[in-house]
Amino acid sequence: MEEKEVFREMEEKMKKAVEVVRHQFSNLRTNRPSPQILENVKVEYYGSLVPLKQLASISNPAPRLLVVQPWDVSTIDEIKKAIMRANLGFSPESDKKIIRITVPQLDAQRREEIVKVAHQIAEQGKAGVRAQRREANERIENLQREKKISEDDKFRDKERIQEITDRYIEQINELLKKKEEEIREI
């Protein structure tokens, strides 16, 4: 195992941790609803649960409106039931061709609850990044113990590992800051 391999694997895993945070943030509700909120809603379709995004297009034509247009209009009732079961606080309405969801404005208390969830997601992401730092540091220690790198290299590598960790933690902090602003926006 080489130093380059340690850094490559660490960065790869840290990027994944940031992507997980970004994806989880996309599922959090804000006053500006995103079609992603509905993507993972599971719909009963011919005896199995299927993600809504596989059965319909989901769009956001107006600030507080989501439109679900099923590929097969016979699934409208099942899609409406699935949206209700998802417990997102939405009341879907349909005209037998499309489903309209008027997204109610969030009250201050609910926005703060969502901000707390965003902080938890960010903290989990940072914990993932720090776990990768710890693993990389251990691998560098082992390389030095096995005399594959010098003591000076070990200290230089550990500094570089910390710099990379700080960069990914900062990316998560930036994502959190933007998400918090979106959630608190009225």
- What's the pLDDT tens digit per position in 63-97? 788 999 999 989 999 999 998 888 777 889 999 89
Q: Considering its fold, how many domains does the chain have in total?
A: 2
Q: Which of 74, 102, 130 is the last residue in one of the domains?
A: 102
Residues 114 and 180 in one domain: yes
| Per-residue pLDDT at 136 exceeds 80 | yes
Residues 123 and 173 in one domain: yes
| Per-residue pLDDT at 186 exceeds 80 | no
The overall pTM is greater than 0.85: no
DSSP letter string, the chain? --HHHHHHHHHHHHHHHHHHHHHHHHTS--SS--THHHHT-EEEETTEEEEGGGTEEEEEEETTEEEEEESSGGGHHHHHHHHHHTTSS---EE-SS-EEEEPPPPPHHHHHHHHHHHHHHHHHHHHHHHHHHHHHHHHHHHHHHTTSS-HHHHHHHHHHHHHHHHHHHHHHHHHHHHHHHHHH--
Residues 63 and 85 in one domain: yes
Domain that includes residue 146, residue range: 3-27+107-184
Q: pLDDT tens-digit profile of 143-160?
A: 999 999 999 999 999 999
| Per-residue pLDDT at 1 exceeds 60 | no
Residues 163 and 136 in one domain: yes
Residues 113 and 178 in one domain: yes
CATH number at residue 41: 3.30.1360.40
Cα–Cα distances (Å) from 63 to 69, 103, 106, 167, 186, in that order, read 18, 9, 13, 34, 12
pLDDT band at 10 (very low <50, low <70, confident <90, very high): very high
φ and ψ at 68, to 5 degrees? -110, 120
Residues 98 and 55 in one domain: yes
Residues 177 and 120 in one domain: yes
Q: pLDDT tens-digit profile of 29-72?
A: 776 777 888 877 899 988 899 999 999 999 988 878 899 999 99
The residues, ordered by sequence, that sit 6+ positions from 69 with a Cβ below 8 Å of its Cβ are: 56, 57, 58, 59, 97, 98, 99
Residues 179 and 129 in one domain: yes
